[in-house]
Chains A and B, each alone.
Chain A
């Protein structure tokens, strides 16, 4: 038995070695072709959009390779501080001790409060949303629906989306401990899409037909209402650089802030920088 296990381990090790050798060859041959490498890491909210931008950028500039990694806002900020990445992504404001980095706002993102399509409620006031997440309102009956507990879902402590929500919606009130916690936009949406009695909040760009974005204080969340400054739950998406960026990194940032780059972001449901200002 032990011998068999040992053989398996050895076999697995050999396969791993072969695979890594094969992969190693591949990347080294790529590096020969693409000389400019830009590494970007951080917020899971910003990552999908950065990936889109990088795709387009690399089509136009075939000699660039842009590595986009997630890890979370804080991980991105840390990596940028340690200079292990060229650009950090963050969906939350920098804390005091992180202010040595330069912030570049690449776009704005609305946060939509979402419910299941089976839920007939289509609008809530900011105060009602605050009460739900503070644990004051716990039954849908109080909001004019059936007698059933509200299954509210929030994001985990430290998430950029959560800190923006705390600032823009909760106004300093604490999110109740009894409320469910999920660790990404995707899983919050998944819970709301499957549970008819759930309510949560995600990036506006994440909203699709499986969930319904509520009107807040009679305002429908959309690019137009955000631009008109009617929809108030809006936060910036940031790129962070440590000191002077490298040439390739600067070139990518210039592209993101250019008309082409901003258009791509707009098409994804985000609010371009020039429009907001």
Chain B
């Protein structure tokens, strides 16, 4: 029989080797897959992992793009990680992301074409509030009626998607857009535009905030009493209550924090790279971020790397598609495999495996 024994101290060597092992395994199996699809596996793997970072042709453009693609993933995953540590499962970040974008954009577009320095900060604030509001619904239902927050937050994603459809076809539709669905382009509205900070790179405020938040959450988790409380609630809810703490307060904080960050990611994206509210404005960042949070082992530094690796596979994957004619589906499959291996091999990080005779 195989027995799992939880490790008391997670060795840093193993924590690093786990992901490397997974990436290697994915390369191996993915390479075989690419070979059978008639694509040079070495070239494909190199193009996914190496070229966006190192190639002379692409890297100056791709490296900032990896951060831009990774920023919403990192922002959302950071917020989610707080709740996940405390065993509070917000899986509806996709909805909170959408609502953040809609709230912020609605505010800014209602003032169009007024120009004022106050619009941008207020819009960001309202975007965050929109995300919070959407995550407060599962928070209140959990606190008041003990309703499972996993399910409520997931249901609210579908509701948010319908509101998004309503917005892009109705109340936010661009009056000068020849009747097509979609709002005005916020990046072309100077007072609301989340414009690039470093010229020519596309790096915007959201990217900077995502890096800043990593530091913030690192301090929160490892240097602040809230981080300790979160861990305690997650590992032993009973001990938490006995220590005289109110778990409801923490549920409230965790869900608001994750919703707010998802909302922030949403408003940053809609006012920046995406530009406009549209029916398929959301491309699944909220769900991908859940994976990122786990790949990063709910640790801010880990989330940074996980988010960037995820973004790298998108950017490099696109490159591979049109350079080597690899179908989009093969890249998706490759990503799925990478995630499976990464999630699976964490076993060796957290547990010792012992074989014993019956």
The finding on whether chains A and B are genuine partners in a shared complex, rather than unrelated, reads no
- Residue numbers of B with Cβ under 8 A of A are none
